[in-house]
Amino acid sequence: MSAGKKTTPSRPRPADRVEHWDIETDVAIVGFGGAGACAAIEAADAGAEVALFEVASASGGSTELSSAEVYLGGSGGTRVQKACGYEDTTKAMFDYLMAAGGDLADEAKVRAYCEESTKHFDWLVSMGAPYKNTEYKERAIMALTDDCLLYTGSEKCWPFREIAEPCPRGHNLEIEGDNGGPLLMKTLTDQVEKRNVRIEYNARALTLIHNVEGEVLGLVVRIDNKELNVRARRGVILCAGGFVMNPKMLKQYCPRIADGPLPIGNPGDTGSGLLMGQAVGGALVNMDQHFITLPYYPPSSLTYGIFVNAQAQRFVNEDCYHARVASRALDQLGGKAYLIVSAEDYGHPSFMNAPIVGTGETVEELAEEVGLDSEMLRHTVDFYSRHAAQGEDPLFHKSAEWLKAMNAPYAALDCSLGEGAIYAAFTLGGLDTLPTGEVLTTEKDPIKGLYAAGRTACGIPRSASGYASGLSVGDATFFGRAAGRASAAHEPGL
């Protein structure tokens, strides 16, 4: 042990300083959220002895706080997709996710995820997760009914609908209200408890233990105020969440969401898993990227409106996914974004809370109140309305179902960050991993004995502009399982 030095995630412990192993196991998992739970189940089912360390006093993680939708499809469709009349293809799902990820996409992971997605659905069902064979057809951020299938991304929107055949892939659990997270975590926790898994709550992972060859042999955990050396013969899997609750790391890596947006996550999302992995050579990638939402629907009628920037120009097709709109809004010069809506379509947005900063019987009156150039706004509204009346949006190709001419009177909601509208965000950067969960160095060499999943890794979701609800829990559970299997199959170290 490094005498007199505090044990921190950034300072790995050399194996030759370990005098005694306090706990020995095959697979050690840090974090009992969705990823950690799935990793534990699969590692145990592969015959490995598993120890699970959770800093909180119960399982849950950020999965429990979420709606726990999962984004799944391809291969002809999940049971629910088929029952609802959709024949999803792996190609369409792959093409959509690659387009959504753009140059940030991890092709190998997207391919694995799309090819095995329906099997993952079946596995979740086999674990006891209930999904009803019904579709929720409203434009919504989440289904508050117990219906299952819904569009949760920008599949039906330009430019994606021209790239891949649209199909709904969000799967909502069979439970009323926004209660999917607790249900999924209870389901998975029950399964973990049935297996050969040692669970330690109130156990803080402090750092990894590695040898001079760079192989990870175990980790240091603090339980009951004692530092224990844990030997993990087949590997350590880091499933300790992201870093949205670490203000220093946000400022350092992801300053755009450091001040202002509400953090989405649990108090354990301090980045400790990322730091532990980095300290033994793991590459942190995509660290500037984040999910961010401007939840301007429901009511869906606001989608008939138009977003404009400080120049009174539109900048996005308003029918796409809320995080894509939020991301585009933040990219506007001067950072201003207003939602202009006809009074007939106005409804108080349940979540967004954006202030009304102008109303007008005419566009000019509205522009004056908002402080926009009235001639520009007049042209923007006229041009939009004239084409919308014909079911067309020649600039941004908003879908016909959301196109209609705007009528006076009008209202303007200030959706600029920092002006009262609710923005909420979480991080999308993490350790670079293979589809097996093996952590990679910057030179793309796997670090022996080290795996990561969930938001400790950088997974399928890579940006707000390409995000779809269900990608995080889908990714965490899917790649958590993969890491559990890979670690269990890893030949024990010396």
Residue whose CB is less far from a copy of itself, 171 or 328: 328
Chain positions 288 to 347 lying near a copy of itself, rule: CB under 8 A, are 288-289, 311-316, 328, 331, 333-334
Should residue 359 be labelled a site residue for a copy of itself when binding is judged by CB under 8 A? no
Stretch that binds a copy of itself, among 3-11, 44-52, 128-136, 353-361 (CB under 8 A): 3-11
Preceding peptide of 435 cis, ω within 30° = no
Preceding peptide of 299 cis, ω within 30° = yes
Chain positions 442 to 461 lying near a copy of itself, rule: CB under 8 A, are 442-445
Cα–Cα separations (whole angstroms), residue 355 to 104, 156, 347, 492:
34, 29, 13, 59
Chain positions 167 to 226 lying near a copy of itself, rule: CB under 8 A, are 212-214
Should residue 94 be labelled a site residue for a copy of itself when binding is judged by CB under 8 A? no
Residue whose CB is less far from a copy of itself, 74 or 429: 429
Tokens of 73: 């499809």
Cβ atoms within 10 Å of 227's Cβ, excluding its own = 15
Helix (H, G, I), strand (E, B) or coil at 326: helix
Angle, in degrees to the nearest 10, between helices 117-127 and 107-115: 60
Cα–Cα separations (whole angstroms), residue 330 to 23, 168, 323, 476:
48, 27, 11, 27
* Residue from 24, 138, 215, 373 in contact with a copy of itself (CB under 8 A): 373
* Residue from 168, 281, 454, 461 in contact with a copy of itself (CB under 8 A): 281
Should residue 104 be labelled a site residue for a copy of itself when binding is judged by CB under 8 A? yes
Residue whose CB is less far from a copy of itself, 172 or 270: 270
Cβ atoms within 10 Å of 448's Cβ, excluding its own = 18
Cβ atoms within 10 Å of 135's Cβ, excluding its own = 18
**Least Å from the CB of residue 104 to a copy of itself:** 6
Stretch that binds a copy of itself, among 89-97, 185-193, 338-346, 435-443 (CB under 8 A): 435-443
Q: What is the spatial distance between Cα 193 and Cα 125, in angstroms, rounded to a whole number?
A: 17
Should residue 249 be labelled a site residue for a copy of itself when binding is judged by CB under 8 A? yes
305 CA to centre of own chain = 27
461 CA to centre of own chain = 6
Q: Residue numbers of the site for a copy of itself (CB under 8 A)? A: 2, 5, 8-11, 14, 17, 103-104, 159, 212-214, 248-249, 252-253, 255-256, 258, 271, 274-275, 278-279, 281, 283-289, 311-316, 328, 331, 333-334, 373, 375-376, 379, 383, 394-396, 432, 441-445
